[in-house]
C-alpha cells in the first residue's frame, strides 16, 4: 500500500486513515520534522546513530507520507500486527517496531501543535469557566469496585453487571 496510489481515491483514504487529504497534508510537514529530527540522531531501534543516515531505495516505507499513512491506518482500524505487516509487505517485528516509533513521533507532533486531549482536570476547569456552552466527548472507564459497602453505592451506576 502506498500513499501515492491511495490519495487518488479520497473516500477510501478517509475510510482507512480517518483524515481528509487536506488534514493529512497539513499534518505531514510537522510529522516529517519530528521524523527528521529523530532519524538524524537515532536508528530505528533507538540506538544513537554512528554515521549519517541516507535514504535507501529498498526500504518498505520509503516516503514520510507512507510512514504516516501506515501509522494512521493502524490506529484507525486496529488490525492484528501480522495482518497490517502483510498489507505493507513487511514482517510483524518490523511493523511492531515502526508502530511504536511512529506513534511516539505522532504524539510529539500533536503535542507541539496543541492537538492532544487535555488530561489535567484543573486546566479543564479553568477553560470551562471562560465559556458559556461546552460539549465534552468522554469515555466511560471501568474502575476498581471498592470493598466497603457504603463506598460501593457511590460507584454503582444502576445498571446490572456494570
Alpha carbon distance 12, 7 (integer Å): 8
Question: 121-162 pLDDT, tens per residue?
Answer: 888 888 788 888 877 777 777 777 778 877 777 776 666 665
Q: Would residue 93 count as lying in a domain?
A: yes
All cell numbers assigned to 56: 535507501
Assess whether pLDDT exceeds 80 at residue 103: yes
Q: Would residue 77 count as lying in a domain?
A: yes
Question: 35-66 pLDDT, tens per residue?
Answer: 999 888 888 788 888 777 766 666 788 889 99
Q: Give the range of the structural domain holding residue 37, as residue numbers without chain letter.
A: 3-113
Top-ranked range on mean pLDDT: pick from 1-10, 79-88, 136-145: 79-88
Q: Would residue 62 count as lying in a domain?
A: yes
Residue 162: the pLDDT is 52
Q: Would residue 17 count as lying in a domain?
A: yes
What is the pLDDT of the chain when averaged over all its residues?
Answer: 85
**Look-up: residue for cell 483514504?**
13
Q: Would residue 149 count as lying in a domain?
A: no
Q: Would residue 25 count as lying in a domain?
A: yes
Nearest Cα neighbor of 4 from 52, 64, 54, 57 is 64
CA-only gyration radius of the chain, Å:
21
Query: Which region among 68-77, 107-116, 138-147 has the lowest average model confidence (pLDDT)?
Result: 138-147
Name the pLDDT band for 98 (thresholds 50, 70, 90): very high
Q: Would residue 134 count as lying in a domain?
A: no
Greatest Cα-to-Cα distance within the chain, rounded to the nearest angstrom: 65
Query: Distances from the Cα of 107 to the Cαs of 41, 68, 75, in angstroms?
Result: 19, 12, 12
pTM of structure: 0.72
Residue 9: the pLDDT is 92
Q: How many domains does the chain have?
A: 1
Q: Would residue 41 count as lying in a domain?
A: yes
Residue 140: the pLDDT is 73
Q: Is 84 helix (H, G, I), strand (E, B) or coil?
A: helix
Name the pLDDT band for 69 (thresholds 50, 70, 90): very high
Amino acid at each position: 500500500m502506498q500513499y501515492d496510489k491511495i490519495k487518488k481515491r479520497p473516500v477510501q483514504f478517509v475510510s482507512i486513515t480517518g483524515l481528509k487529504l487536506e488534514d493529512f497534508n497539513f499534518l505531514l510537514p510537522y510529522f516529517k520534522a519530528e521524523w527528521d529530527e529523530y532519524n538524524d540522531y537515532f536508528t530505528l531501534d533507538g540506538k544513537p546513530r554512528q554515521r549519517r543516515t541516507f535514504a535507501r531505495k529498498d526500504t518498505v516505507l520509503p516516503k514520510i507520507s507512507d510512514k504516516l499513512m501506515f501509522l494512521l491506518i493502524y490506529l484507525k482500524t486496529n488490525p492484528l500486527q501480522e495482518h497490517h505487516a502483510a498489507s505493507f509487505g513487511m514482517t510483524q517485528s518490523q511493523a511492531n517496531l515502526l508502530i511504536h516509533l511512529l506513534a511516539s513521533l505522532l504524539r510529539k507532533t500533536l503535542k507541539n501543535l496543541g492537538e492532544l486531549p487535555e488530561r489535567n482536570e484543573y486546566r479543564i476547569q479553568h477553560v470551562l469557566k471562560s465559556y458559556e456552552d461546552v460539549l465534552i466527548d468522554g469515555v466511560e472507564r471501568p474502575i476498581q469496585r471498592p470493598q466497603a459497602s457504603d463506598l460501593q453505592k457511590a460507584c454503582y451506576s444502576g445498571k446490572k453487571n456494570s
